[in-house]
Amino acid sequence: MSPRQPIRRSSRKRSLPLDSKSEPPVSSPNKIQKIKAESPIVESPIKVKQEISPKTLKDRKLKAHAKDSLDGPFPSYIRPTPSECSLAHEILSSMHGPRIRPKVVVASKDRAGCGDSPSVLDALVRTILSQNTSDKNSTRAKINMDNVYGGSDHWEEIVAGGQEKLQEAIKSGGLSQVKSKVILQILAQAKEKYGDYSLDHLHKASTEDAMEELLGFDGVGPKTASCVLLFCLQREDFAVDTHVQRITGLLGWHPKTSSREQTYHHLNKRIPDEHKYGLHILFVTHGKVCDECKAGGKVAGKCALRKAFREQVLKGEAEVEEPVKQEVEQEIEQEVKQETG
């Protein structure tokens, strides 16, 4: 009989699932649980060890808003100047047509929009549906939601149906698990605080009071609140989405390290009121169609907006950070190579 062989143990550690902390490992590799994922899970930008109460999150949002609203996050950063805002508005209007604020806000039946409704609650829900998705997808989600519940303001039916039904109804808009939860939380907060599913009293509130109240809702940040202010309440507020953040960064209107919320507070202070509505819409439009300014766009030296501001930098007419100046010089070098190559 041969001597007994020692048991060989692998030194390789068994890895646990990313969404598991103390659960035991799977007993058999053949039994794999299939996880149905309608959309990728969105992680919070702040990793915490324990759950933070809604009141604490609300207090943090309001405190950050009050701090940046006072002097702005970059008080010594003087761009954009009023003349730069006027120039950008003029150039973009010539490229895409002027954008004039309507005298009366009408809720569209064939598109979700972003705050486009006279009902503040409906405007808020529309804006949430438009987050992190295309206009086409958010519109599909809004139309299907209206078909499922019988209309855009049937809040009682939406609440009674629960999250699973709402999630399925807005599935085409993406991130429906998160959005459905936020929408139901907002409806619950409105009902508890005011006894009704309505926020129309904000039409009579000051801009600052309306902003603070909107920020008090779970899942509502400065961008969402600003869209409701700009489009529904018709206030002069400069909402910053991904297109606005990207293009104003290319123009050197905020520091390279600026977050979207910091950019909002900075530009909302720097841009004159008469340009806020038109410039916001034109930046969004331009960011979707300009081959140079859209996400992943390549410099070709043909964008009238970038050419105009680049000339200002080269002539020393615009005070910019050194990285912005270097970027402009690199763009010119790239164009020369393309033309000579």
Dump pLDDT digits (tens) for 109-162. 888 888 889 999 999 999 999 998 989 999 999 999 999 998 878 999 999 999
Full-model pTM: 0.76
Query: Please, what is the Cα angle at 20 between 47 and 24, to 5 degrees?
Result: 150
For the residues 241-266, what does the mean pLDDT come to? 94
| More confident: 38 or 274 | 274
Per-residue pLDDT averaged across 55-69, rounded? 73
pLDDT digits (tens, 9 = 90+) for 165-211: 999 999 999 999 999 999 999 999 999 999 999 999 999 999 999 99
Asked if residue 140 belongs to a domain, the reply is yes
Q: Does residue 248 form part of some domain?
A: yes
Q: What is the CATH number of the domain that holds 247?
A: 1.10.1670.10
Among 142, 171, 179, 223, the active-site one is 223
Q: In total, how many domains does the chain have?
A: 2
List of long-range contacts for 176-180, beta carbons under 8 Å, 24+ apart: 176/38, 176/39, 176/141, 177/38, 177/39, 178/42, 178/219, 179/128, 179/129, 179/131
138/285 same-domain check: no
Q: How far is CA 12 from the centre of its chain?
A: 43
Range of the domain at 266: 63-100+238-340
Instruction: Please report whether residue 284 resides in a domain.
Output: yes
Same domain for 267 and 293: yes
* Residue where a domain stops, chosen among 171, 206, 232: 232
> Out of 137-141, 159-163, 264-268, 330-334, which region has the weakest mean confidence (pLDDT)?
330-334
- Digit-coded pLDDT (tens) for 300-328: 888 999 988 887 765 665 555 555 556 65
Decide if 67 is catalytic.
no
* Overall average pLDDT of the 317-340 stretch: 57
Query: Is residue 282 domain-shared with residue 305, that is, in the same domain?
Result: yes
Out of 232, 259, 289, a domain closes at 232
Residue 145 is assigned to a structural domain of this protein: yes
Same domain membership, residue 187 and residue 91: no
Q: What is the pLDDT of residue 337?
A: 57
- Asked which of 175, 210, 232 is the last residue of a domain, the reply is 232
